[in-house]
Structure 1
């Protein structure tokens, strides 16, 4: 097991969980939702089979409250994913009280309401979440294989998988203890999926343990051969996937980092990807200064 795996269990004074260490697997797609829907359902079914059908217990569609995720709930999800033009879907575990397993999706180029947007910055975005206990029990090889299975049906432009903070999006930066952990463990992501769905476009989120690259970025890097020629760190692999796509793997285990430091391979990949890395333009969190945001976004570069 990697020595750079922090155990994070933050709770409110009343015991309600605030944040925990986790793994997230994320993909971003520049395709209208109606084209993606059947493929997305395939990925969701693969995640459900891998985790067990009983793991996810509640779902929310368009943010309209939570309902039990029974057989009829699954059928409704499939139907609405196929028929609704711009869905927002959230699935969560309820048995542990910590939402260790989650799935979030923003569809139709990230449009929250109304018809699909033609804005070149918007994407369809999906996140699959696992607890770090899954990694400890099954090992990184199985996590990597799961990420590849989830990726296979999806025509992603980019994606990433690695350690992340499992918390409510608005809580992460607002809590001083969480903000401190962001800089102590630069390998732990804090994806705000709604923001990325609206703004990512053809940019790349970050350099991660698993970094998925498709078009146009992979082509601009010179394809798989061009990308390989720029990466020299040991234990880095570039695996070609169908559809002119690759996955870059940085070592056998994911790394969270310690005291602000990461293995050299992460910095090397980040510098290769720097011209295409995403920088958040509109601050939606008044507790976070632009300087803090830029420092965190460049944590693998500076």
Structure 2
């Protein structure tokens, strides 16, 4: 399947939004509990995306260095033992100047929840972005296998895999115009980790990883099977009381011009409605009306 190429440039020609494949896992756990699992997942990711590679690594000082064996070992050690009262932080790219390329962003909190009221919803996040071309070349089966193997390592509360429009936080309404008229199946995602997830679920997607407490509130796997009986919806039990809900064989953009109505997305959205995350503006204040309407596109 060919996916639409979606690009938004600012008035100076800078790329501010682009299509991509994203995997994101939200974990309401401190880094010292999940760091070994995150490292295992990242080692698996680096191995499985070959011949592509993550070639650059953030030094932690706002600079990028070549990601060789020594650089990875330093990152691994700092993640496993970042020091007292220090959050873990990993940024890796195929090219740090390429907005639409491979990108890893891990934020591991030193304590959960954080002690400040305005950050009570923050969680540890592992965010992985791949170019759309990678999805088309590898096919959905290999992407699904990679995501599931990574998820097995991670104690997630929720997570997803989907074809998305990645946008910088400053201009979501402008980016939204690329998809709102035609592609309701395309998730609007930030260009890096969104830490403010608490135990909410970040939308409805092709692959939906659900853990506690949301899975329990839905009646567990039995409750999911009762409410999600549409053909094409796959419900796969995982260890530690977690589940993967997959909508169809591949990510669907929901092309309105082709008459696609995404009934599986709508069924899951109705079930998850009380538990869905609502975007919070980066500088406070109310969310924009277009963004609020977009969040409810499967419900209204």
TM-score, normalised to structure 2's length? 0.87
The correspondence of residues 227-266 of structure 1 with structure 2, limited to 5 A, is: 227-259=224-256, 262-266=261-265
Residues 288 and 72 (structure 1 numbering): CA distance in 2 closer, same or farther, change over 3 Å?
farther
Distance 2:278 2:31 in 1: 24
Residues 23 and 262 (structure 1 numbering): CA distance in 2 closer, same or farther, change over 3 Å?
farther
Distance 2:261 2:60 in 1: 38
Distance 2:285 2:61 in 1: 24
Residues 134 and 64 (structure 1 numbering): CA distance in 2 closer, same or farther, change over 3 Å?
same
| Shift of residue 74, structure 1, vs aligned partner | 0.5
Aligned residues of 1:92 and 1:99 also touching (Cα < 8 A): no
Residues 186 and 171 (structure 1 numbering): CA distance in 2 closer, same or farther, change over 3 Å?
farther
Q: Which residue of 1 aligns with 2:147?
A: 147
Residues 95 and 278 (structure 1 numbering): CA distance in 2 closer, same or farther, change over 3 Å?
closer
Distance 1:95 1:52 in 2: 18
| Shift of residue 15, structure 1, vs aligned partner | 6.5
Distance 1:221 1:255 in 2: 25
TM-score, normalised to structure 1's length? 0.86
Q: Which residue of 1 aligns with 2:41?
A: 43
Residues 75 and 54 (structure 1 numbering): CA distance in 2 closer, same or farther, change over 3 Å?
farther
The correspondence of residues 119-134 of structure 1 with structure 2, limited to 5 A, is: 120-134=120-134
Distance 1:212 1:63 in 2: 33
Q: Which runs of 5+ in 2 are unaligned?
A: none
Distance 1:120 1:15 in 2: 37
RMSD of the TM alignment (CA)? 2.8
| Shift of residue 286, structure 1, vs aligned partner | 8.3
Report SS of the residue matched to 1:72. helix
**1:93-116 CA distance string (max 9 Å, x none):** 1199454211111211798xxx95
Match of 2:208 among 191, 194, 211: 211
Residues 102 and 83 (structure 1 numbering): CA distance in 2 closer, same or farther, change over 3 Å?
same
Equivalenced residue count is 292
